[in-house]
Every structure is written in C-alpha cells, then in structure tokens.
C-alpha cells in the first residue's frame, strides 16, 4: 500500500504573487514554517492508502478523464482558516467558485469510487494549504492575513499529478507517480 492523492498543479507565477502578498502582510520575524512553493497545489482527491495493483488502473482512468477535459481559468479569492474545535489549524488560500473545477473534481471522485475509495460527502472546497498552525500564539497574526484583499490573479492550470505522499518526521514528501496535461 502507498498513500496517494490527485492534484491540480498551480503555475509558479500566480503562486509567487500569492506568496508575495502573504509575505507583505505577515511578520516574518515570527519564524513560521510555511509550506514550500513546490508543495502548493489543489487536492482534487485524497485517496490515502492505495493498493499498488490499482495504480496503473487509476492512471488509465484518470488519463481518460483528462483527455475529455478542457482548460479552465481559476482566480484566487481570499485567505482563510480551517478550524478544529474552534481553534485555527490551517491557513489557506481559497479560489473563486468555478463550475468547471468542481465538475472535474466530482468526476475524479466518481472514478475513484469505482476502485473502492469513498465518495466525498462534503462539498469540494478548492484551496492551497499555506501553513499548518501548531502554535496558537500565531493566530492573531494569521487573522490579519484573513483580512487582506487579494487582487484579481487569474490563471490557467493544465497539469494534473497523481502523487505518492510519504509521511516523515520532518513532514510529508510528495513524489509524482504520473503527470497528465489538459489540452
């Protein structure tokens, strides 16, 4: 078994703009360990433990979905936080509603359910995870970011990656199993 997920890659230029906004509005002296730019993506489907025998079958089905998919434009919307027991745990960047992205994620979810993976019960919420908040003293500073207005940053993402995720003591490491280009 390997731990896997399917993600939409975000081009480097719009990511750099978001990180620039973040850095302009956050006190860097606080010594926060941000997610690296290489790890920023939209998770379309988290599979978790995946039988190695399914990898090629999933790749084939994913390829079929992507061959029918057309490119679509995305726009960053705002900063926000996911909370657990009302305590902020994750700082993220949200995307403006996009029917094409939602339909794409739904189709991937349905495909994965054919292989025994559970269908998503909650609405798809595309986002980039910027920070895992481990120190509650950071919450006031993180809250400031949630009030920052993000200018229109529009872009097209055309690369889907099927990743393996290894959990290490130093954090997770992602390795590409296969990449697909939306044409």
Residue 121 sits at φ, ψ, to 5 deg, of -95, -20
Structure tokens at 15: 């990511």
At the topology level, CATH places domain 2-181 in Cyclic Phosphodiesterase; Chain: A, (3.90.1140)
* Tokens, residue 120: 């998503």
pLDDT of residue 135: 84
pLDDT band at 139 (very low <50, low <70, confident <90, very high): confident
Instruction: Give me the pLDDT at residue 113, please.
Output: 97
For position 58, what pLDDT does the model report?
98
Whole-structure pTM value = 0.93
What burial class does residue 45 get, using C-beta atoms within 10 Å of its C-beta: 0-12 exposed, 13-18 middle, 19+ buried?
Answer: buried
């Amino acid at each position: 078994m390997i731990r896997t997920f399917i993600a939409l890659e975000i081009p480097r230029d719009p990511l750099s703009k978001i990180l620039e906004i973040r850095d302009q509005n956050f006190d860097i002296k606080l010594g926060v360990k941000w997610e690296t730019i290489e790890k920023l993506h939209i998770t379309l489907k988290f599979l978790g433990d995946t039988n190695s025998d399914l990898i090629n079958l999933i790749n084939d089905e994913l390829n079929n979905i992507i061959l029918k998919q057309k490119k679509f434009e995305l726009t960053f919307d705002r900063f926000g936080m996911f909370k657990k027991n009302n305590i902020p745990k994750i700082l993220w960047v949200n995307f403006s509603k996009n029917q094409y992205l939602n339909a794409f994620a739904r189709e991937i979810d349905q495909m994965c359910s054919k292989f025994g993976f559970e269908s998503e019960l909650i609405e798809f919420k595309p986002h980039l995870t910027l920070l895992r908040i481990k120190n509650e003293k950071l919450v006031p500073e993180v809250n400031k970011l949630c009030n920052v207005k993000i200018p229109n940053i529009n872009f097209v993402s055309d690369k889907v990656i099927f990743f393996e995720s290894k959990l290490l003591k130093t954090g997770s490491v992602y390795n590409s199993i296969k990449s697909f280009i939306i044409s």
